[in-house]
Amino acid sequence: MHMSDGLLNAGTSVLFGAVAVIGVAVAMAGSRRDLDDRTAPLAGLVAAFVFAAQMLNFPVLPGVSGHLLGGALAAILVGPWVGALCVTIVLVIQSLLFADGGLTALGANVTNMALIGTVVGYVVAVALRGLARRSRAGLVGVAFVAAFVNTVVASAGFVLEFAIGGDAGGVSFGGVAGTVLGVHCLIGIGEGVITALTVGAVASVRPDLVYLLRGNEKPLEIREGARHE
Amino acid sequence: MSDAKRRGLTVFFAGFAFVALVLAGAVSYLADSDPDGLDHATQKGCTVSEVDGKEQLDGQCVAQSAKDHALADGPMADYKPGGSDGLTGLAGVVGVVATFAVAGGLFWLLRKRSDRPEPSSET
């Protein structure tokens, strides 16, 4: 879902560049309390995993593919702040190293996939956290739903940006918007499956590393862990 | 953290890294090369053909206003090192390593330091 340069006019690109910079700054501030000696390397691996998974386009319709965005996946595993940074770094590397996703469009792409996708995916996951804590099947189901919503709402971000500053080039705006949202409902199913499989796999080996499953008893965390050794 | 627990964590991290490398380095060859949902929507109304290795759009569509990437001539542009489709896996491995280096480095710098004040877990 990477926008090329030129789809949005200069003013809109700058506007969403600013949104992205502010969002990333907020995420960096918020991420400090979620990162420690254990979660910092985990989060680095989550970013690397999202990069890898984004390469794996899967078919959704004849002649149309989709790929993971990764916001919900990252948020469930390492939290919303760190998760947003993971996806941002993936997008920056893709644009600078692989010419995938435009440079002036980077702000809008970060806004959609790293900020909107991650935050929305996390909000859905938190709303369903009770279900996720009850059983492994619950967690996997919650991961699927959060990822599905993350994809569809992230694509709505594109529609919004395109409405503000896109050049439809004589094509009907409604047609473009409808196609983007419709196709991303299908891609969201793929995103849901990949996210459910990944979160389920991590939870089966190391449930203690799944951010969504962590308790609210933050100050007691170290002692609780030590007592159960 | 006990030694056994630390070792378990290292094994888990190694496994996670291995999976990412295999996905990017090998499974990526199986990826669908059709345009993704957004490209499909923006190319709607145009016919896409390949002219001299470059995408050519004919007709009326949103993607007509898209510009070439400023770094489109970079050594690994489009995940094709040296312009070769056959090296996509190499691009994937480079991308995974680069992403881990940048993200891991940033997160390591941002993390709370636990090596100094740890009163309760020492005894």
Q: pLDDT 10s per residue in chain B (123 long)?
A: 678 888 889 999 999 999 999 999 999 999 999 999 999 999 999 998 888 767 889 999 999 999 999 999 999 999 999 988 899 999 999 999 999 999 999 999 999 886 655 555 444
What is the rounded CA–CA span in Å between residue A186 and residue A189? Answer: 5
Please answer whether residues A3 and A12 qualify as being in contact, where contact means their C-beta atoms are separated by less than 8 angstroms: no
Select from A8, A39, A45, A173 the residue whose CB has the most chain B CBs within 10 Å, as the one to mutate to test that interface: A45
B102 and A93 within 8 Å at the Cβ level: the answer is yes
pLDDT at A217: 40
Query: What is the tens place of the pLDDT at every residue in A170-218?
Result: 788 899 999 999 999 999 999 999 999 999 999 999 999 999 999 744 4
> How much is the pLDDT for B5?
80
For residue A43, report the phi and psi dihedrals to the nearest 5 degrees: -65, -35
CA distance A177 to A187: 15
Rounded to whole angstroms, the Cα distance separating A24 from A88 reads 8
In the predicted structure, residue A39 carries a pLDDT above the cut 50:
yes
Establish if A48 touches chain B: CB-CB under 8 angstroms.
Answer: yes
Q: What pLDDT does A128 receive? A: 97
pLDDT of res. A220: 44
Asked if residue A124 lies in contact with residue A151, where contact means CB atoms within 8 angstroms, the answer is: no
Task: Calculate how close chain B gets to A57, using CA atoms only, in Å.
Answer: 5
CA atoms within 13 A on the CB side of A178: 6
User: In this predicted structure, what is the pLDDT of residue A216?
Assistant: 46
Mark yes or no for CB contact A63/B36 under 8 Å: no
Looking at the predicted structure, is the pLDDT value of residue A229 above 50?
no
Q: Do B37 and A209 touch (CB under 8 A)?
A: no
A64: three-class secondary structure by DSSP: strand
Does the beta carbon of A217 lie under 8 angstroms from any beta carbon of chain B? no
Residues B91, B79 contacting (CB under 8 angstroms): yes
Nearest Cα to Cα of residue A84 among A52, A53, A46: A46
Express each pLDDT in A59-86 by its tens digit.
999 999 999 999 999 999 999 999 999 9
Structure tokens at A53: 């998974």
- Contacts with B, A 148-207, CB within 8 Å: 155, 158, 162, 166-171, 175-176, 179-180, 183-184, 186-187, 202, 205-206
Token pair in block for residue A41: 């390397």
Q: Closest by alpha carbon to B103, among A26, A18, A74? A: A74
Report the pLDDT value the prediction gives residue A63, as an integer from 0 to 100: 95
Interface test with B, best of A4, A12, A153 (most B CBs within 10 A): A4
Contact B66/A167, CB-based, under 8 Å? no
Distance of alpha carbon B74 from its chain centroid, rounded?
16
In sequence order, the 6+-apart residues with CB closer than 8 A to the CB of A173 are A162, A163, A166
Helix (H) or strand (E) holding A66, with range, is strand A64-66
Q: Which pairs with CB-CB distance under 8 Å and at least 24 residues apart come from B70-77?
A: B70/A5, B70/A103, B71/A95, B71/A96, B71/A99, B71/A103, B72/A99, B74/A97, B74/A98, B74/A99, B76/A97, B76/A98, B77/A98, B77/A99
Is B36's CB within 8 Å of A187's CB?
A: yes
φ/ψ region of B67 (left if φ > 0, alpha if ψ in -120 to 50, else beta) reads beta
Distance CA A76, CA A68 (A): 15
Q: Do B60 and A37 touch (CB under 8 A)?
A: no
CA distance B39 to chain A (A): 7
Structural domain spans, chain A: 10-215
Cα A136 to chain centroid, rounded:
22
* Cβ-Cβ contacts under 8 Å, B12 against chain A: 205-206, 209
Identify all chain A residues contacting B98, using CB atoms and an 8 Å cutoff. 93, 97
Tokens of A102: 């435009």
Q: If you measure CA to CA, which chain A residue comes closest to B72?
A: A99
C-beta separation of A40 from B108 below 8 A? yes
Locate tokens 């196609």: which residue?
A179
Among B60, B65, B91, beta carbon nearest to A6: B65
Count of C-beta atoms within a 10 Å radius of residue B114: 13
- From chain B, the residues in CB contact with A92 under 8 A are 102
Q: What is the pLDDT of residue B109?
A: 96
Q: What is the pLDDT of residue A68?
A: 98
* Rounded-to-integer distance, Cα A135 and Cα A203, Å: 11
Mean pLDDT for A41-52 is 98
The domain made up of A10-215 has a fold known as Arp2/3 complex 21 kDa subunit ARPC3 (1.10.1760)
In the numeric block, which tokens belong to residue A198? 């990944």
| Residue B8 CB neighbour total at 10 angstroms | 14
- The whole-number pLDDT of residue B56 equals 87
Q: Which pLDDT does position A60 carry in this prediction? A: 97
